[in-house]
Structure 1
Amino acid sequence: MKGRIWIWNILALICLTACDRWFDVNPQTEVKQKELFSTDQGFYNALMGVYLNLSDPELYGGELQFGLVDVLAQTYSISNTTGGGSAYLYAVSYDWNNCKTLFEPLWEKAYTQIANCNNILKHLEGNRGLFPEGNYEIVEAEARALRAMLHLDLLRLFGPSPAGGMSKPAIPYVDAVVTVPFPQLTVEKTLERIIGDLERAFDLLKVNDPYFTGIPDGEFDFMTANGFRQNREYRLNYYGVSALLARAYLYKGDKSKALEYATKVIGADYHFTTQEEMNAMGVTLCYSEIISGIYLKNTLLKKQTEKWFSENAGSTKLKISSAGVETLFEVASLGSTDLRKKNQFGSRENENEVFLNKYFTGSLLPLIRLSEVYYIAAECAEEHE
């Protein structure tokens, strides 16, 4: 789908809406902006606000997680008799004009969070003295990584394929808080900006991220005093940014660089979840495989995903055929005992249709999984050799 179909939306929003109004802490005046960013805690709160807002149903709490993107991948059995709202029906048949109700909110909310990242980066300038050593760099790195990740997903959805389309117009790369339109960049230029942000984030985290460097003996209390450096395992930390770089370089077609960054994650302390771990945690998501993820705002997964996966979901119901699951897990050969097949799917209305169960427990959703990194490495390894 060509990005120009919806390009007027973001240009109009940038021209007519001040980025300050987009900031989700909801300051109404510049005075409140200055108050918010007058302490390091204000920056931490603003950054966490972006992570939380990524869990909106229009973004990674729905359409970019298991909704629209999986509909386009033809994961589900969608017809006018098996559920799936009319917009999904149009999307699966590539009738873009009739599924704008799916794409336009996604586009707008993604650029809203990009604007929030830009706002954080804008106010960082000249405020290094507010932060304990290393925290300024972590905030900058994560804001840049979030901005790059959102642009990359928008590019993959709305831009031409890099294969033969590098010089074609794609999307705007919005990297500043201004009220003038941003130009529509080519795929090549957009990828340059994305990778540039991610490389900068990687360099900052390589030196300052305690999830990678560790915390020196005797400095734990000092470095974790305000909680910002705690619980970093699911943020866009050193390994999360490495995985994003692997994703971006593979999309660009640079398999050597993609493998380089994928290997950094594979060599770290991540592993595929066992049945025993899944039983012990009482959840159906494989937490040990999540490199970076987000928590939902004020709700649990089951409540948010009922729109798609409950028996009473109605027109937005998403189902998978039994035959499709058997093909996916290679049941005829080795997959009949696969723990994901056993734990993450369940029958509902009849034996020929199944639903995803894996989003029915907990409140954590993955942004990047270990499996993706292995797929990237596998795709790149033979050519690299």
Structure 2
Amino acid sequence: MRLRNCIGSLLLTLMLCSCNSWLDVDLINQSEESDLFSTERGFSEALAGVYCDIAASNMYGQTLSFGMLDIMSRIYDYSQIPNKMKIFRDYDYENKDMKSYIYLLWSSFYANIAALNNILEWSEKNASVLSDERRNQVRGEALALRGLLHFDIYRLFATDVKLDPKARVLPYQTKFGVKTPPVYSTMDYLKLVIGDLEDAVKYLENDPIKEVKPYQLGNGDDENKDGADLYVARMNYYATKALLARVYLSMGGDKIKDARRLAEEVIDCGKFALVNYEKSLNTDEANKDLLFSDEHIFSLRGQNVKSDAEGVHKQITGTDGNVQMASGYQSILYLGDLEDYRLNWYKSFYIIKYTSDNSERFFPKMPMIRLSEMYLIAAEGWMEDDPEHAAELLQTLKQARTKSIVNKQTVTEEMILLEMRKEFVGEGQLFYVYKRLNHDIIGNTSEDGVKASNSVFVLPLPEEEIEYGYRN
């Protein structure tokens, strides 16, 4: 109960924080740090600051979800991209505004990693102020977050490991401070990600999420004290395993066996559930759950998600309006199945996934890892070794998405990609899928596609970082 109260305090801090002070880590002197980390609450506030910061619009709250990355994955009508966003559509990495976006991303990643390293170091220095239970929770979440952020740096800034495992490009930061960290090959870098996540799993062995089923707790505002958000609005035990599955899948080869094993562990744990139409969607507008919250293994809370999404998705008039889908896109993508529940994500040519007026019941949030992805990873993982089992997994997911009868089919890479295109709208994951598969990007219309290429899939390191020798 004590640990659950600490987590509740962290979640409340996360929801209310302004994210303006904690990450100015270079400006905090030793005395202020000592005060901050002198209590359990201080550690909770420090962790909440990281969650809050990575949920901001310059990171997962927009840029790495329904903003830049979704535009780069061509889910929107190529011809209707507003002028200010064409740099993403065209992969114009030499554009000065694009360089600013890239530098801000890089800086935000490593600022948050620095904050996590500081938390980890103080959890050793001031271990006496934390119970063993709380210290394990703090260290587990911090290590899991460090692995998450480093992995997405790899997915953005490095050549896919399957194409060049020896390329030395990226620094992996494990210590707090200004010293330039060593640069690793893509393979060694991913081994460090896996090391962080495996250590996190050990620390989170007694995570309170093991005592509950979050999808049974509800997500209402009046239920926050005991609701699902207490468990899934942070890197919990199962989220860490799910992320490990994602990492192993990206590595390919024999690691796919580890990916499917971990994905099925998360599926079989019974803590999360595929969307229930009657509960989540067949209800009044104020209670519709367009984000399929019961599936959330980890999601971020952000005060500005709705307003930021309106700035990208809401239908407006004018010559430089917001992004939209091409005419007939939904029908083509969902193969004409008008019963597909995901069609609730759209209104006409626009995505309403994050803009519906249900914030009283569902706090604005960004899905980071969902149960549906685990089904897709497991199906892809068994595709060659056990086609029948792969077909059953994919059938289960697809049946949970429609009232229509879904028959089993032999699973192929193209089928997996199609389901991911249906599933990850507005979540920023599709760009990474194309890169992992080294697959041509499929456009919103037949003319909008783009050839698979490192010139598209690999963001250039900021010029300021090249000066420090991060690219060899």
Task: Normalising by structure 1, report the TM-score.
Answer: 0.82
Query: Taking structure 1 as reference, are residues 197 and 365 closer, same or farther at Cα in structure 2, changes over 3 Å only?
Result: same
2:87 alignment partner in structure 1: 90
* 2-structure distance, mates of 1:336, 1:74: 23
Query: Taking structure 1 as reference, are residues 68 and 230 closer, same or farther at Cα in structure 2, changes over 3 Å only?
Result: closer
> 1:274 offset after TM fit, Å?
2.2
1:3 alignment partner in structure 2: none
> 1:71 offset after TM fit, Å?
1.4
SS at match of 1:180: coil
> 1:235 offset after TM fit, Å?
1.6
> 1:43 offset after TM fit, Å?
0.3
Return the match for 1:358 from 344, 353, 358: 353
AA paired with 2:276?
A: T
* 2-structure distance, mates of 1:318, 1:112: 30
SS at match of 1:232: helix
Q: Does 1:190 align with 2:189?
A: yes
Partners of 1:52 and 1:296 within 8 A in 2: yes
> 1:288 offset after TM fit, Å?
0.6
1:287 alignment partner in structure 2: 293
Where do 5+ consecutive residues of structure 1 fail to align? Answer: 1-20, 216-225, 348-353
> 1:324 offset after TM fit, Å?
2.3
2:37 alignment partner in structure 1: 37
Query: Taking structure 1 as reference, are residues 214 and 291 closer, same or farther at Cα in structure 2, changes over 3 Å only?
Result: closer
Query: Taking structure 1 as reference, are residues 316 and 66 closer, same or farther at Cα in structure 2, changes over 3 Å only?
Result: farther
> 1:152 offset after TM fit, Å?
0.7
SS at match of 1:58: coil
> 1:174 offset after TM fit, Å?
1.2
Query: Taking structure 1 as reference, are residues 212 and 377 closer, same or farther at Cα in structure 2, changes over 3 Å only?
Result: same
Return the match for 1:273 from 272, 275, 294: 275
Partners of 1:198 and 1:245 within 8 A in 2: yes
Tell me the alpha carbon deviations over residues 170-218 of structure 1, each in whole angstroms, 9 at most, x when there is no partner.
3211111121212332111110110000000011212x21212569xxx
What does 1:1-385 correspond to in 2, within 5 Å?
Answer: 23-24=23-24, 28-79=28-79, 82-86=80-84, 88-98=85-95, 99-206=98-205, 208-212=206-210, 231-253=230-252, 254-269=255-270, 270-279=272-281, 280=283, 281-297=287-303, 299=304, 301-312=305-316, 315=320, 317-331=322-336, 335-341=337-343, 343-347=344-348, 354-361=349-356, 362=359, 363-385=364-386
Deviates most, 318-327 or 65-74: 318-327
Tell me the alpha carbon deviations over residues 252-300 of structure 1, each in whole angstroms, 9 at most, x when there is no partner.
1110111111111110222221222224533321101111011114x4x
Partners of 2:325 and 2:350 within 8 A in 1: yes
2:428 alignment partner in structure 1: none
SS at match of 2:231: coil
Partners of 1:155 and 1:170 within 8 A in 2: no
* 2-structure distance, mates of 1:384, 1:199: 26
Partners of 1:85 and 1:317 within 8 A in 2: no
Deviates most, 183-192 or 309-318: 309-318
Aligned-residue sequence identity (percent) comes to 31
> 1:101 offset after TM fit, Å?
3.2
Partners of 1:58 and 1:105 within 8 A in 2: yes
Deviates most, 31-40 or 178-187: 178-187
Query: Taking structure 1 as reference, are residues 313 and 271 closer, same or farther at Cα in structure 2, changes over 3 Å only?
Result: farther
2:15 alignment partner in structure 1: none
SS at match of 2:368: strand
Deviates most, 127-136 or 66-75: 127-136
AA paired with 1:283?
A: D
AA paired with 1:275?
A: Y
* 2-structure distance, mates of 1:373, 1:22: 33
2:404 alignment partner in structure 1: none
> 1:234 offset after TM fit, Å?
2.9
The total of aligned residue pairs comes to 338
SS at match of 1:60: coil
AA paired with 1:379?
A: E
Q: CA RMSD in A?
A: 2.4
Task: Normalising by structure 2, report the TM-score.
Answer: 0.67
1:6 alignment partner in structure 2: none
* 2-structure distance, mates of 1:204, 1:77: 45
Where do 5+ consecutive residues of structure 2 fail to align? Answer: 1-20, 214-224, 387-472
2:463 alignment partner in structure 1: none
Partners of 1:296 and 1:364 within 8 A in 2: yes
Query: Taking structure 1 as reference, are residues 135 and 313 closer, same or farther at Cα in structure 2, changes over 3 Å only?
Result: farther
* 2-structure distance, mates of 1:25, 1:178: 9
Deviates most, 268-277 or 237-246: 268-277
Query: Taking structure 1 as reference, are residues 73 and 326 closer, same or farther at Cα in structure 2, changes over 3 Å only?
Result: same
> 1:383 offset after TM fit, Å?
3.5
Tell me the alpha carbon deviations over residues 338-359 of structure 1, each in whole angstroms, 9 at most, x when there is no partner.
1110x11012xxxxxx111010
AA paired with 1:108?
A: S
* 1-structure distance, mates of 2:99, 2:365: 28
